Amino acid sequence: MDTSLYNATVASKIMVTPDLMIIKIDTDEPRKEFEAGQHTVLGLYGFEKRSSNSDTELFPAEPDKLVKRMYSIVSAKTETRQLEFYILQVKSGQLTSRLFNLNIGDRLYAGTTITGIFRLDETPEGTDIIMVATGTGIAPYVSFLRSHIIERPESKMVVIQGGTHRWDLGYCSELAFLESAFANFFYVPTLIEPDEHWDGHRLCIEDLLKSDVLQNEFNITPDPERTRFFVTGKPDMVSRVSAWLHDFGYTRHHPDDPGEMYIEEF
């Protein structure tokens, strides 16, 4: 089978759970420096094998077609040759089930351009930054922090990460380390079905925000003039958090119509 369009190689693969993985790829040619929070395309041909724990494809891929999807980059913006991704397997999907079957040294397609408007660099200097995520939505925030945390000592930066179980909290060790290393960074994980050993928050993200955790623990006010919010993850969570922020006067950001609330749904 023709794989001439493949232009990257799997450098490492970490299975966080059977359906969550961290994968790093080396591109044949370096990409231009990008902005933290942006995304690029990954792709595999339909003839590639699917993972052993995938389900029957809902819509079978065409063998000779390159199946491509956008994924947020976890890497710091200066890492233009090795790119890191945090991916959830869609068991009946065309692409992720094939990505999960890759091993170190295998080849794949990586987009030659990196795009996206979910960017920390567009927020005003000195504003506090609140980053809210569920699932693989944590990926752009890790890129934000790897790229900018040293540059923004005047800003309080908070990651609020929600999940069902402890294993849903991808990158929690790195985030906890950053909290211990930087006085202006705070990590707030919360679970809705924790085990008996969990001593953190036990609320969904929306209820956690409504409990005034930002004001009480960090002296941060949801004020469009002083605080920017990034929200990414499941649509229902994004919708409810967006509605809560609208009550404080927040508007959705767009490059042509700047706002104080940056949204990315998946």
What confidence tens digit (pLDDT) does each residue in 161-179 have? 999 999 999 999 999 999 9
Instruction: Give the pLDDT of residue 122.
Output: 87
Instruction: Give the pLDDT of residue 187.
Output: 98
pLDDT bucket at 79, cuts 50 / 70 / 90: very high
More confident residue, 1 or 30: 30
Question: Which CATH topology does 8-110 take?
Answer: Elongation Factor Tu (Ef-tu); domain 3 (2.40.30)
Q: Is 163 exposed, middle or buried (0-12, 13-18, 19+ CB in 10 A)?
A: buried
What confidence tens digit (pLDDT) does each residue in 189-217 have? 999 999 999 999 999 999 999 999 999 99
What confidence tens digit (pLDDT) does each residue in 100-125 have? 999 999 999 999 999 999 999 989 99
Contacts of 15 (CB under 8 A, 6+ apart): 21
Residue 1 has pLDDT above 80, yes or no: no
Distance CA 222, CA 118 (A): 19
Q: With pLDDT > 90 as the criterion, what percentage of the chain qualifies?
A: 94
CATH architecture for the domain at 120-265 = 3-Layer(aba) Sandwich (3.40)
Q: List, by residue range, all CATH 3.40.50.80 domains of the chain.
A: 120-265
Q: List, by residue range, all CATH 2.40.30.10 domains of the chain.
A: 8-110
HSE value, Cβ hemisphere, 13 Å, CA-based, for 240 = 14
Distance CA 115, CA 70 (A): 10
Task: Pick the closest to residue 162 from 187, 185, 140 (CA basis).
Answer: 187
Residue 226 tokens, joined: 């002083």
Phi, psi of 17 (to 5 degrees): -140, 175
Residue 1 tokens, joined: 């089978």
Composition of the chain by helix, strand, coil, percent to 5: 25, 30, 45
Secondary structure letter of residue 200 according to DSSP: S
pLDDT bucket at 265, cuts 50 / 70 / 90: confident
Instruction: Give the pLDDT of residue 266.
Output: 72
Distance CA 155, CA 43 (A): 37
What confidence tens digit (pLDDT) does each residue in 34-43 have? 999 999 999 9
**What is the pTM for the complete model shown?**
0.95
Average pLDDT, stretch 58-87? 96
